[in-house]
């Protein structure tokens, strides 16, 4: 799943802008032919969530239609044309000129449909996209789970099994793109280090032809080239870069890789890629980048901003990366779903280490085999699509297969009450996902974020880094920081004793209302957030098994309405939703930029 590219052999046409838009709560659109055009539409911006663009659509979770026209440029004649949707949340169906072109299930990951035979030339084309964002128990992530739902307990509205707002819409650009008949279909790059040399292994898939190719790597140390001979549509090359300049947070150096398919001296297709030469591993208690220990500092984040909702917001990506640098963070997790490809490219450029998470948040194992299997099928699809999309980003160091799966019954898992036996269904479920991801990508680390179980869980020893979430001092022992930290220490020592793996505390935080102060510190005040975070940082500094700290959250973010989310916000951000620092941001900066 290559990112569409514009160069001398390929073209892209970004269909971002104003689209016609209409709600279809009765789901009559397909029967009434709305794919040919909308009667009395309103105007909506793409990319963006629909929820905050109008007053009456905030909680709308059903079917909508997006329609617009486009011309195919004359210069594209003879090329293969596809329509690519960066992210349609949740399910999408696409029509071109009234003819069904394809569909996709699952938000956050791109899909492309070849439409060469459906487009017309010399007059406008119509593209219609039906998007639907229902919250159902069999989706990943799930919603409307009834009594087993984590947030339904608090009467959260909309009834999602996670706290971030379930935005809907065309969240990332819709792009029309053209490639030559014989073209580079896929490229996979794996890097290794041998002494001072970088080894760049390139695997290329060609479609629509059988041309020879050439792969060129340019950067510090000069130009390295190798020929590509295809057999059965695929070819490999191994390039050695002497005295390689390695990619790392302090020096995120990117080499330029070009793959070209050639006919004599003519280049028929070319595709270029940024390549960071780096390795990632776990050694003992440490995460090791290029053979050197790296301590993860950073955050869990969200794609979230007023009005845009979850829509691609390029200035915000730039701003957030600048704030990450300012505060001394070297990493973040794409909680709780894959972020935009633009965000991943920015991380490559800025040297930010990414824990790349699938959309599997709020998984339950208590609602029967049929539902569990339905979710497993989607988790597998999401792992495949995520690895296919992000496999070449040097920034991506770890795959996160899920966030807080409820391995044990809810009460037992979260509060330590009742029977806490882990659900037997979770072991084969995650067993399959581990096998799948390790087969697709043996080069990166893998984790499951904070499985909610008490006591030892056998299959968890498959993770490379134990990522734990702790709200001791907030949801537990709130307001009693001293006791909370004592408790936390013995709790973490216990986890380390059980698994013997490096531990990263990948969520810890306290809701904080910007501008609220108290002395002595009390919950919700800026002082309390500072003391809480300082306590965790000090503890982590004493524990050599702790390999990283991700504060929850980088910024305040939109949630559903519930008793625990004042003003529809999770306020655990160290920045406000509009990116103003709270006192805690200065504390982290002081600690992390030293």
Residues with a catalytic annotation lie at: 404, 507
In angstroms, how far apart are the furthest CA atoms of the chain? 77
User: CB-wise, 186 or 404, nearer to ligand GCB?
Assistant: 404
Nearer to ligand GCB, 253 or 575 (CB): 575
Exactly one of 20, 24, 52, 163 binds ligand GCB (CB under 6 A); that residue is 163
Contact positions with ligand GCB (CB under 6 A) in 478-517: 507
CB of 450 to ligand GCB, least distance (A): 7
How many amino acids of this chain bind ligand GCB (CB under 6 A)? 10
Contacts made by residues 382-386, CB under 8 angstroms, sequence distance 24+:
382/106, 382/108, 382/109, 382/140, 382/358, 383/358, 383/433, 383/436, 383/437, 383/440, 384/436, 384/440, 385/1, 385/106, 385/109, 385/110, 386/109, 386/338, 386/356, 386/358
Nearest to 332, CA basis, from 350, 309, 355? 355
392 versus 553: smaller Cβ distance to ligand GCB: 553
Q: Under rule CB under 6 A, which residues in 389-408 are in contact with ligand GCB?
A: 403-404
Binding mask 330-349 for ligand GCB (x = CB under 6 A): ------x-------------
Closest CA to 382 of 110, 159, 143: 110
Nearest residue (CB) to ligand GCB, 127 versus 450: 450
Q: How far is the CB of 228 from ligand GCB (least distance, A)?
A: 44
In three-state secondary structure terms, 539 is: helix
Does residue 304 interact with ligand GCB by CB under 6 A? no
How many whole angstroms separate alpha carbon 49 and alpha carbon 60?
11
Binding letters toward ligand GCB, positions 269-298, x by CB under 6 A:
------------------------------
Indicate the helix (H) or strand (E) that contains 81: strand 80-85
Contacts 24+ apart (CB under 8 A), 510-518: 510/473, 510/474, 510/572, 511/474, 511/570, 511/571, 511/572, 512/571, 512/572, 512/573, 512/582, 512/584, 513/566, 513/571, 514/556, 514/571, 514/576, 514/580, 514/582
Least distance to ligand GCB, CB of residue 364, Å: 14
* Closest distance to ligand GCB from the beta carbon of 336 (Å): 6
Question: Is 313 a residue that touches ligand GCB (CB under 6 A)?
Answer: no
**Tokens (6 digits) for 54:** 């109008």
Tokens at residue 540, please?
Answer: 């982590």
Choose between 252 and 362: whose C-beta lies nearer to ligand GCB: 362
Identify any residues that bridge with 274 across adjacent strands, giving them in sequence order: 256
91-107 residues labelled b (16+ CB within 10 A) or e (exposed)? bbbbbbbeeebbebbbb
Torsion of CA 294, 504, 506, 537, to 10 degrees: -80
Query: Which residue's CB is nearer to ligand GCB, number 97 or number 570?
Result: 570
Owner of token pair 């569909």: 103
Per CB under 6 A, 469 contacts ligand GCB: yes
CB of 477 to ligand GCB, least distance (A): 15
User: Is residue 504 within 8 Å of residue 468, measured between CB atoms?
Assistant: yes
For helices 426-440 and 369-390, give the axis angle rounded to 10 degrees: 20
570 sits near ligand GCB (criterion: CB under 6 A): yes
Query: Should residue 577 be labelled a site residue for ligand GCB when binding is judged by CB under 6 A?
Result: no
Please identify the residue of the shown chain whose CB is closest to the bound ligand GCB. 163
The Cα–Cα gap between 293 and 329 comes to 16
Planar angle of CA 536, 540, 543, nearest 5 degrees:
145
Least CB distance to ligand GCB at residue 511 (A): 7
The 195-214 site mask, x for binding ligand GCB (CB under 6 A), equals --------------------
CB of 528 to ligand GCB, least distance (A): 15
x/- letters, 535..554, toward ligand GCB (CB under 6 A): -----------------x--
User: CB-wise, 157 or 349, nearer to ligand GCB?
Assistant: 157
The pair of three-digit structure tokens given for residue 333, joined into one six-digit string: 């997790």
Considering beta carbons, is residue 88 or 510 the nearer one to ligand GCB?
A: 510
CB of residue 150 vs ligand GCB: minimum separation in angstroms? 9
Binding footprint of ligand GCB on the chain (CB under 6 A): 162-163, 336, 403-404, 469, 507, 552, 570, 572
């Amino acid at each position: 799943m290559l990112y569409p590219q514009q160069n001398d052999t390929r073209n892209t046409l970004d269909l971002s802008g104003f689209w016609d838009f209409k709600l279809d709560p009765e789901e009559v659109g397909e029967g009434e032919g709305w794919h040919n055009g909308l009667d009395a539409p309103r105007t909506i911006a793409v990319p963006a969530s629909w929820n905050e663009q109008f007053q009456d659509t905030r909680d709308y979770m059903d079917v909508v239609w997006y329609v617009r026209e486009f011309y195919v440029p004359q210069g594209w004649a003879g090329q293969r044309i596809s329509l690519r949707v960066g992210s349609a949340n949740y399910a999408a169906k696409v029509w071109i000129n009234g003819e069904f072109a394809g569909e996709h299930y699952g938000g956050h990951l791109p899909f492309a449909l070849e439409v060469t035979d459906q487009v017309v030339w010399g007059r406008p084309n119509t593209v219609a996209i039906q998007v639907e964002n229902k919250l159902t128990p069999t989706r990943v992530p799930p919603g409307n789970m009834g009594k087993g739902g984590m947030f339904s307990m608090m009467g959260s509205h909309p009834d999602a099994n996670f706290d971030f707002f379930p935005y809907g819409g065309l969240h990332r650009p819709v792009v029309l793109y053209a490639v030559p008949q014989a073209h580079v279909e896929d490229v996979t790059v794996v890097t290794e280090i041998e002494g001072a040399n970088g080894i760049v292994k390139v695997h290329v898939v060609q479609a629509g032809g059988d041309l020879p190719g050439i792969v060129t790597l340019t950067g510090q140390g000069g130009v390295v080239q190798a020929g590509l001979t295809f057999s059965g549509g695929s070819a490999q090359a191994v390039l050695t870069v002497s005295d390689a300049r390695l990619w790392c947070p302090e020096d995120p150096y990117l080499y330029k890789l070009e793959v070209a398919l050639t006919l004599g001296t003519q280049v028929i297709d070319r595709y270029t890629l940024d390549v960071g030469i780096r390795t990632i591993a776990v050694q003992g208690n440490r995460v090791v980048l290029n053979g050197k220990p790296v301590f993860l500092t950073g955050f869990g984040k969200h794609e979230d901003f007023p009005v845009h909702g979850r829509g691609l917001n390029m200035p915000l990506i730039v701003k957030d990366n600048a704030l990450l640098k300012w505060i001394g963070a070297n990493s973040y997790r794409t909680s709780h779903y894959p972020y935009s490809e633009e965000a991943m490219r920015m991380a490559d450029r800025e040297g930010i280490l990414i824990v790349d998470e699938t959309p599997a948040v709020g998984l339950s194992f208590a609602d029967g085999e049929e539902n569990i299997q339905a979710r497993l099928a989607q988790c597998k699809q999401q792992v495949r699509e995520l690895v296919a999309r992000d496999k070449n980003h040097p920034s991506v160091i770890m795959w996160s297969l899920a966030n807080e799966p409820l391995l044990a019954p809810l009460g037992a898992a979260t509060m330590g009450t009742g029977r806490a036996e882990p659900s037997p269904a979770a072991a084969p479920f995650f067993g399959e996902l581990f096998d799948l991801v390790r087969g697709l990508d043996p080069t990166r680390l893998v984790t499951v974020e904070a499985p909610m179980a008490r006591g030892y869980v056998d299959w968890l020893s498959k993770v490379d880094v134990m990522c734990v979430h702790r709200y001791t001092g907030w949801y537990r022992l709130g307001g009693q920081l001293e006791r909370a930290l004592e408790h936390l220490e013995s709790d973490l020592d216990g986890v380390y004793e059980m698994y013997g793996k490096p531990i990263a505390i990948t969520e810890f935080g306290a809701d904080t209302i910007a501008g609220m102060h108290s002395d002595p510190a009390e919950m919700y005040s800026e002082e309390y957030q500072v003391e809480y975070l300082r306590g965790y940082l000090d503890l982590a500094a004493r524990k050599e098994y702790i390999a990283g700290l991700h504060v929850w959250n980088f910024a305040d973010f939109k949630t559903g309405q519930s008793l625990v989310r004042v003003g529809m916000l999770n306020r655990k951000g160290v920045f406000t939703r509009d990116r103003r620092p709270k006192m805690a941001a200065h504390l982290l900066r002081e600690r992390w930029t030293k």
